[in-house]
Amino acid sequence: MKKIVGYAIPIIFLAAFVWIMNSGDYYKQPRGSTDDFELYLHQLYTSTEKTQWQQAEAAYKNLTRAWEEIEPRIQFSVEQDELHAINIGLVRLKGYLQAGDQKDTLVELHEIRWHWKHLNE
Amino acid sequence: MNEGLVVLVRSLVAFISLFIFARFLGKQQLSQLTFFDYVLGITIGSIAASLSVDLSSRAWPHWVGLVTWTVAVFILQWASHKYLILDKYFNDEPTVVIANGKIMENEMKKARYTISDLLEQLREKGVFNLNEVAYAIAETDGKLSVLKKPEHLPASRQDLNLTIPELGISTELIIDGVIIKDNLYNRNLDEKWLDQKLKEQGLASASQVFFMSIDDAGTLYVDRYEDHVQKPWGGEKGK
């Protein structure tokens, strides 16, 4: 029994570490109705394409709120630089939306989506 | 992102992983490490350090590196134990640097072992004259084993035909003022006996004793907290 516990404890620890270090993809998924990052990204993209700036503003607010919920969950398993890139992208996006700049908004959205997809790679 | 918290979690992951892997790799003493073992240790430590604080990349690749190096070391250890030929190949062989009192220059050259290294390690062994040495072997962990010529070896009890009773292994009875009761009972002694012995030493209780042991011949070694030793350089009395 003592021997089994002696082996089990380190195995449990190592398994937990593997989980923590690879949990990014799992924790990126929405846990509730307010943290669906991909959905809000898509809404923002569609609104921008149609130059519906009011809807785009609302989608942007939802997007940043979702990101604020997700970021603490995934911070242990992803690159800090990737998180930083998304944060910077969101700030830039705000400016482009205020200016009603469709081209730069779409470019920024594509970049954010790329960082989002490659967060746990 | 809370960088401090991330570093804390990653450091715990690195620390506990390193601890588990170190236990997994066994109990090789630091003094037995070859140069390659030493380099492996440094590399594994360096990867663990990156895992802990290098936030520019994910923790996972660092951890995979840590596991890979640990498994590689384990395979090397396992193969060395299993096959003697591989042990010689991986860990090298000891080099005879002095044989029959003669320095083996060619062997030393192959092992990149200089005369200064030899003289220094001989001095560390208390040998200041090469004429005293019959054999010297540079071990794989970098230490030097020396066999002196018979005329320079100290006389043994056998040479002098002396019979001296064995002292045996001493048993600790008091450590840092605390009585080690298990050891006392294992020696078929009791606290009453201990009190008596303490009184004979002029001590009121075990709390005045830093260390006390007894050997097989029943001889006591007692070290008090109050040592009253005059320092050789004439300072205050030591405590």
Q: What is the pLDDT of residues A6-52, one digit of tens each?
A: 889 999 999 999 999 999 889 999 988 888 999 999 999 999 999 99
Burial class (CB in 10 A: 0-12, 13-18, 19+), B37: buried
- Reduced to 3 states (helix: H, G, I; strand: E, B; else coil), residue B99 is strand
- Predicted confidence at residue B83, as pLDDT, reads 85
**Reduced to 3 states, what is the DSSP secondary structure of residue B134?**
strand
Indicate the range of B28-32, B157-161, B175-179 predicted with least confidence.
B28-32
Residue B1 confidence (pLDDT): 66
CATH superfamily of B95-152: bsu07140 like domains (3.30.240.20)
Q: What is the pTM of this model?
A: 0.68
Residue B151 above 80 pLDDT? yes
What are the residue ranges spanned by the domains of chain B?
Answer: 3-88, 95-152, 171-229
Categorize the per-residue pLDDT at B231 as very low, low, confident or very high, splitting at 50, 70 and 90.
Answer: low
- Chain B CB within 8 Å of residue A10 CB: yes
Separation CA A14–CA B8 (nearest Å): 17
B195 membership: H or E segment, kind and range: helix B191-200
* Contact (CB, 8 A) for B144 and B179: no
Report how far Cα B188 is from the mean position of its chain's Cα atoms.
Answer: 32
- Contact call for B1 and A77, based on CB within 8 A: no
Which residues of B lie inside 8 Å of A (Cβ-Cβ)? 1-3, 5-6, 9-10, 13, 16-17, 20, 23-24, 55-60, 63
Interface test with A, best of B58, B62, B63, B64 (most A CBs within 10 A): B58
- Residues 55..74 of A with a Cβ closer than 8 Å to B: which? 71-72
Cβ-defined contact of A83 to B5 (cutoff 8 Å): no
Work out the number of other CB atoms within 10 angstroms of the CB of residue A101. Answer: 14
CATH of domain B171-229: 3.30.240.20
Kindly state the tokens that stand for B214: 């007894």
Cα separation, A70 vs A121, in Å, equals 17
Q: What is the pLDDT of residues B68-115, one digit of tens each?
A: 999 998 898 888 888 888 877 777 788 999 999 999 999 999 888 899
CB contact under 8 A, B56 and A83: no
Of A6-15, A91-100, B27-36, B111-120, least confident by mean pLDDT is B27-36
Using alpha carbons, select from B140, B22, B43 the residue that is nearest to residue B90: B140
Whether the Cβ atoms of residue B47 and residue B66 lie closer than 8 Å to each other: yes
ipTM of model: 0.84
- By mean pLDDT, which of B17-26, B60-69, B162-171, B172-181 is the weakest? B162-171
Which structure tokens are listed for A110? Answer: 């594509």
- Is residue B101 within 8 Å of B134, Cβ to Cβ? yes
Beta bridge partners of B145: B137
CA nearest to A9 within chain B: B20
**B98 or B26: whose pLDDT is higher?**
B98
Note whether B36 and B90 are within 8 A (CB): yes
- For residue B31, the SS3 value is helix
SS3 B136: strand
Q: How far apart are CA B18 and CA A89, in angstroms?
A: 37
State mean pLDDT over B40-56.
92
- Percentage of chain B modeled with pLDDT above 70: 91
Residues of chain B with Cβ-Cβ distance to A10 below 8 Å are 20, 23-24
**CB–CB of B63 and A21 under 8 A?**
yes
Provide the terminal-to-terminal Cα distance of chain A, rounded to the nearest Å.
40
- Sheet of B178-179, strand order: B178-179, B171-175, B209-214, B220-224
Alpha-carbon span B54 to B46, nearest angstrom: 11
Tokens representing B175? 């450590």
The residues with which B221 forms a beta bridge, in sequence order, are: B213
Residue A44 and residue A63 in contact, taking contact as beta carbons nearer than 8 Å:
yes
The pLDDT of B183-209, averaged and rounded, is 91
What's chain B's average pLDDT?
86
Cα separation of B149 and B132, whole Å? 6
User: Are B56 and A80 a contacting pair at CB < 8 A?
Assistant: yes
Q: Which helix (H) or strand (E) holds A115?
A: helix A102-117
User: Cα–Cα distance between B133 and B119 in angstroms, integer?
Assistant: 11
